[in-house]
Chains A and B, each alone.
Chain A
Amino acid sequence: MTVSLHRRWLSVATAAAFSMGVVNLVLAEDKAPEGKEKPAQSTLKIGEKAPSFVLKDTDGKEHNLADYTAQGKIVVLEWFNSGCPFIKLHHEKQSTFADLSKEFSEKNVVFIAINSTNTGHADFGKDAQAKTDWKIEFPILVDADGKVGQAYGAKTTPHMFVIDKNGVLAYSGAIDNDPRNEKSADDQSADGKVNYVRTALNELVEGKPVTTAETKPYGCGVKY
Chain B
Amino acid sequence: MRPAVCALLFVFLACSTAESLRADALESKTSDAEFPGNKYVKARFALENSAIAPAGTTNLAVIFDILPGWHLYWRNPGDAGLPPSVTFTPVLGVKFAAPQWPAPRREIAAGSLINFVYERQLVLIFPIETIPDWSSGTSLKISAQVDWMVCKEKCIPGRAQLTSSWPVSAGAGPSADADVFNEARKRHPQPASAETSPCEIAWNGSELHLGVTGADRLAFFPYENSPNVYPENLLYAGESRSGALRLRYPADVAKLEHVAGVLAVTRDGVETFHEISTSPPSAEGSIDPVK
B227–A39 contact, CB under 8 A? no
CA distance A93 to B172 in the complex (A): 47
**How many A-B residue pairs lie within 8 Å, measured between CB atoms?**
84
Given A85-B155, A219-B80: A224 and B112 within 8 A (CB)? yes
CA distance A156 to B110 in the complex (A): 11
Given A38-B236, A221-B110: A122 and B147 within 8 A (CB)? no
**Smallest CB separation, A217 vs chain B (Å):** 8
**Smallest CB separation, B139 vs chain A (Å):** 31
CA distance A188 to B144 in the complex (A): 28
A121–B153 contact, CB under 8 A? yes
B111–A221 contact, CB under 8 A? no
A182–B1 contact, CB under 8 A? yes
A220–B154 contact, CB under 8 A? yes
Q: Which residues of B contact A218 (CB under 8 A)?
A: 80, 82
Complex: chain B residue closest to A123, CB-CB:
B154
CA distance A154 to B223 in the complex (A): 21
CA distance A84 to B156 in the complex (A): 8
Is B182's beta carbon under 8 Å from chain A? no
B153–A122 contact, CB under 8 A? yes
Q: Mark B98-120, 1 if CB is under 8 A from A, else 0.
A: 00000000000111110100000
B248–A221 contact, CB under 8 A? no
B154–A122 contact, CB under 8 A? yes
Q: Mark A83-115, 1 if CB is under 8 A from B, else 0.
A: 111100000000000000000000000000000
Given A181-B1, A214-B227: A19 and B251 within 8 A (CB)? yes
Given A29-B237, A156-B79, A180-B85: A150 and B246 within 8 A (CB)? no
| A178-223 interface with B by 8 A CB criterion | 179-182, 214-216, 218-223
CA distance A214 to B233 in the complex (A): 18
A26–B248 contact, CB under 8 A? yes
Given A30-B236, A83-B154: A215 and B112 within 8 A (CB)? no
Q: Which residues of A contact B251 (CB under 8 A)?
A: 19-21
| B120-172 interface with A by 8 A CB criterion | 147, 149, 151, 153-157
In-complex Cβ contact of B147 among A29, A31, A180 (8 A): A180
Is B2's beta carbon under 8 Å from chain A? yes
Complex: chain A residue closest to B149, CB-CB:
A85
A221–B227 contact, CB under 8 A? no
Q: Which residues of A contact B115 (CB under 8 A)?
A: 221
Is A167's beta carbon under 8 Å from chain B? no
Q: Which residues of B contact A21 (CB under 8 A)?
A: 251
Complex: chain B residue closest to A19, CB-CB:
B251
**Smallest CB separation, A202 vs chain B (Å):** 22
CA distance A84 to B37 in the complex (A): 13
| Residues in A lying within 8 Å of B, measured CB to CB | 19-22, 26, 29-33, 36, 38-39, 41, 43, 83-86, 118, 121-123, 150, 155-156, 173, 179-182, 214-216, 218-224
Seed contacts A26-B248, A85-B157, A150-B112; 13 additional CB < 8 Å A-B pairs: A20-B251, A29-B237, A30-B236, A32-B236, A43-B232, A84-B154, A85-B155, A85-B156, A156-B79, A181-B1, A215-B227, A220-B154, A221-B115
CB-defined A-B contacts under 8 Å, sample of 26? A19-B251, A21-B251, A22-B205, A26-B248, A29-B237, A29-B246, A30-B236, A83-B154, A84-B155, A85-B149, A121-B153, A156-B80, A173-B227, A180-B82, A182-B1, A214-B227, A215-B226, A215-B227, A216-B225, A216-B230, A220-B80, A220-B155, A221-B109, A222-B110, A222-B113, A224-B112
| Residues in B lying within 8 Å of A, measured CB to CB | 1-2, 79-82, 85, 109-113, 115, 147, 149, 151, 153-157, 205, 207, 225-227, 230, 232-233, 235-237, 246, 248, 251
